[in-house]
Structure 1
């Protein structure tokens, strides 16, 4: 049985991971732009 707090925790960690992925992708794009 999932509690409300557990759902919020999972959602929060997911959004944190997504933000991290977006940051890494943008850093990679910047590096690629500088290389070319």
Structure 2
């Protein structure tokens, strides 16, 4: 169970890091992605 818990914690950490990176990039490139974002949706 320790290995599974460790794997889950690693996955959660990676997900959180990825989310923060995406949010930061979106805020940074907000002007550039405005129009393409609407089309993508």
- TM-score normalised to the size of structure 1? 0.80
| Structure 2 partner of 1:18 | 15
Unaligned 5+ runs, structure 1 = none
1:29 aligned to which of 22, 26, 36:
26
- TM-score normalised to the size of structure 2? 0.71
Q: Shift in Å at residue 11 of structure 1?
A: 0.4
Query: How far, CA to CA, are the matches of 2:6 and 2:18 in structure 1?
Result: 18
Query: How far, CA to CA, are the matches of 1:17 and 1:32 in structure 2?
Result: 22
